[in-house]
Amino acid sequence: MAEATEEAQIIAAAQRDPQAFDALYARYVRRIYRYALAQLHDADEAADATQQTFLRAWQSLKRYRADYTFAAWLFGIARHVISGLRSGRPATVSWENVPEDAQPLARTGNPEAVALLRESHTHMQQLLRRLSSEKQELLALYRDDDLTVAEIAVILGKNPETVRKQIARTLKTLREHYHAANT
């Protein structure tokens, strides 16, 4: 609750003074970038999408009303930006371009386990890409820890219960494929 109040104050300040927007940017830039990257699979395009998202948010912040959360509003903008970028563009680079030293290590730290884990991660990313764009989008939103199902429903313009079921169904399907490939 305190955090929501603090955020409301930051938003109000940014609506009065554009320079105060920096605080909102700092708060959300990583989340929006990850969301964009999860869907665009390209660091440059994700960075472009993130910039465009914040630019639009910055320009229209005065029109923001607290009918729903700022996160839902901002992710909604990002969704439109990403949708525009996705249409008609060719497939681009993959997750493998994440620098190796930024990739996670296996819990054991054993080099062989690390190699196996990376292989399974790569496979997971391939499975993810086989999902429909709608399901990829759903999971991209769900992977943001701080977005509630209700907020995801607002962003997607769907019923929360429907979204909840779709997330569970998509995860289960993905889990089954992942499990089948790793046994």
Partner 1 sequence: MPPTHNRYQRYAERLGEPVTDDLKDFVDGLDAPYLAAPLPETLRHFTPSAHSTDEELLAMSLPPPESTPVVTRHIPPHDGDRSPRSRVSFGLVAAIVFVVVVVSIFATKQVFAPQTAQRPQTTSSPTASPIPTATPQPPATKVYVRCLTISLQEPTSPATNCDAVPPTKSVPINSLVNLLYCYTADIPLPSAIAAKVTYPDGKSSIASGGLLVGQPPCDGSGTHVDQTGQYTVQIYWNPATNLKQPIRQPIDPVKDHTWQLQITELFTVI
Q: Which is nearer to partner 1, 67 or 90 (CB)?
A: 90
Q: Which is nearer to partner 1, 67 or 101 (CB)?
A: 101
In the complex, the residues that contact partner 1 under the rule CB under 8 A are: 17-19, 21-22, 25, 29-30, 33-34, 37-38, 42-44, 47-48, 50-52, 54-55, 58-59, 89-90, 92-93, 95, 98-99, 102-104, 107, 117, 120-121, 123-125, 128, 139, 142-143, 145, 167-168, 171-172, 174-175, 178-179, 182
Q: Closest Cα to residue 85, out of 60, 51, 113, 59?
A: 51
Question: Rg of the Cα trace of the chain?
Answer: 18
Q: Closest Cα to residue 150, out of 74, 85, 71?
A: 71
**Min dist. Cβ of residue 157 to partner 1 (A):** 21
The C-alpha angle with vertex 121 and arms to 120 and 126, in degrees rounded to 5, equals 95
Cβ burial of 131 (10 Å; 0-12, 13-18, 19+) is: middle
**Min dist. Cβ of residue 45 to partner 1 (A):** 9
